[in-house]
């Protein structure tokens, strides 16, 4: 089958993410918008800030780059890189902080080093007021410097409790390996440790929903674990409203800093595209969602919502699942459904999805495995009526509805079903 369109994360400029095929400007997502700076992991493994409206080609998931597209998020942890301004437990005489004493995850000598002698000593963020029934996620970059390699990373009571006397809850992490050796937060949050390179780990507690009757002054804490000399570096503290952790947002003041959402619309013009059958393929990872996130093969670049093939992900029964749909000008109604997933499948990892559209015989493969889709989609006899000629990351043109968020490693469109 002939490849008619190809996007892989490669070249970019302000407002444009370059496509590969067709070999001209029609392949480009040239209406890219994000009206703030944002960070990415570059090919050298360092965090790097990109300016407004510049697409982020991100390497945080390994060797293959991805186009990183995120929702708007705000870092409400004050002085995220000036750890010397955070609170000290139990007091400033017991906790020694050396400012700008270690190379940080962005490659600059800006990370502060904390030295303590006994357990439960360390630093905590200035307090925020958590709001009932809101979701929160906390993260920080931490590195072992000397002494014991075990530390406590946790949240105070009003991140999870209605009871003023409840204690701080932690994960205990061995910074020599990044392993979680004890987890006290599993009943109300998910804990993760992500290797950020050069000895740094991003420690994460995410998806905390503040209970009814709860909320109040709350802190993120980073303390020693063993009753011995412990020295560790801290940088990039982040507290954000949301049920998962997003990319790092520098907040260098006593206020808040917001990263606006990434958004791009349409690309491509397929000459000679066969509208009756073909394959839409994408390799992407999802983020937790509350609406459908779609990559769409459509009839034009003017927001026409008729005649389109869609692949992406949505929510069904509270679970994020793959999503496929066909919208057409025939006599049957529009169809769109989430998909039964293979047992070994994790939608939050990178996976390759191939959606074959052929009237009465529509099929989906995930990582080369044929998966079940509902008969309303698989047996759909559609009449597209117009030539499919464009790819969209937001099929309503410039609106904010159904924007794709996550990471994209490639998008391909084939004009036939041969070798599906």
Locate the domains of the chain by residue range.
3-71+262-414, 75-259
Rounded-to-integer distance, Cα 241 and Cα 284, Å: 24
Structure tokens given for 56:
């982020």
Q: How far is Cα 26 from Cα 406, in angstroms, rounded to an integer? A: 23
Higher-confidence residue of 23 and 258: namely 258
Beta-carbon contacts of residue 86 (< 8 Å; ≥ 6 apart): 79, 123, 124, 125, 126, 237
Give yes or no for a contact between 387 and 275, defined as CB atoms under 8 angstroms apart: yes
- State how far the Cα of 195 lies from the Cα of 174, in Å rounded to an integer: 12
Domains 3-71+262-414 and 75-259 share a fold: yes
Whole-prediction pTM: 0.94
> How does residue 300 score in pLDDT terms, banded at 50, 70 and 90?
low
Is the pLDDT score of 127 beyond 80?
yes
Residue-wise pLDDT tens digits, 75-123: 999 999 999 999 999 999 999 999 999 999 999 999 999 999 999 999 9
- The pLDDT, as a whole number, for residue 331 is 57
Which of the following CATH numbers is that of domain 75-259: 3.40.50.150, 2.60.120.260, 3.10.129.10, 1.20.1300.10?
2.60.120.260
pLDDT of 1: 67
Best CATH choice for the domain 3-71+262-414 from the list 2.60.120.200, 3.10.20.340, 2.40.50.180, 3.40.50.300:
2.60.120.200
């Amino acid at each position: 089958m002939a490849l008619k369109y190809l996007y892989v994360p490669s070249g970019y400029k302000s407002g444009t993410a370059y496509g590969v095929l067709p070999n001209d400007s029609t392949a480009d997502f040239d209406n890219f918008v994000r009206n703030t700076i944002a960070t990415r992991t570059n090919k050298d493994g360092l965090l790097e800030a990109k300016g407004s409206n510049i697409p982020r080609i991100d390497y945080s998931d390994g060797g293959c780059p991805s186009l990183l597209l995120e929702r708007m998020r705000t870092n409400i942890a004050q002085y995220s890189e000036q750890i010397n301004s955070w609170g000290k437990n139990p007091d400033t005489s017991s906790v020694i902080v050396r400012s700008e004493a270690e190379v940080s995850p962005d490659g600059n000598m800006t990370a502060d080093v904390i030295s303590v002698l006994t357990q439960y000593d360390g630093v905590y963020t200035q307090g925020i007021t958590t709001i009932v029934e809101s979701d929160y996620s906390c993260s920080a970059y931490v590195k072992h410097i000397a002494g014991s390699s075990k530390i406590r990373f946790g949240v105070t009571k009003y991140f999870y409790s209605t009871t003023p006397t409840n204690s701080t809850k932690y994960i205990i992490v061995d910074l020599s390996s990044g392993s979680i050796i004890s987890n006290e937060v599993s009943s109300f949050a998910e804990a993760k440790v992500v290797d950020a390179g050069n000895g740094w780990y991003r420690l994460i507690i995410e998806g905390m929903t503040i209970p009814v009757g709860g909320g109040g002054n709350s802190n993120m804490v980073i303390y020693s674990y063993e009753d011995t000399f412990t020295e560790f570096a801290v940088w990039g503290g982040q507290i954000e409203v949301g049920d998962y952790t997003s990319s790092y947002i520098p907040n260098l003041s006593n206020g808040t800093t917001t990263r606006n959402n990434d958004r791009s619309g349409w690309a491509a013009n397929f000459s000679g595209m066969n509208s009756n059958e073909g394959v839409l393929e994408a390799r992407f990872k999802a983020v937790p969602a509350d609406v459908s996130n779609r990559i769409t093969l459509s009839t034009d670049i003017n927001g026409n919502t008729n005649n389109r093939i869609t692949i992406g992900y949505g929510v069904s029964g509270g679970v994020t699942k793959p999503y496929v749909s066909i919208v057409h000008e025939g006599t049957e109604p529009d169809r769109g459904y989430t998909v039964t997933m293979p047992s070994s499948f994790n939608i939050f990892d990178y996976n390759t999805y191939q959606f074959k559209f052929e009237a009465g015989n529509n099929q989906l493969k995930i990582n080369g495995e044929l998966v079940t889709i509902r008969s309303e989609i698989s047996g759909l006899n559609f009449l597209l009526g117009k030539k499919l000629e464009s790819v969209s990351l937001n099929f309503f043109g410039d609106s904010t509805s159904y924007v794709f968020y996550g990471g994209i490693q490639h998008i391909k469109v084939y004009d036939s079903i041969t070798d599906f």
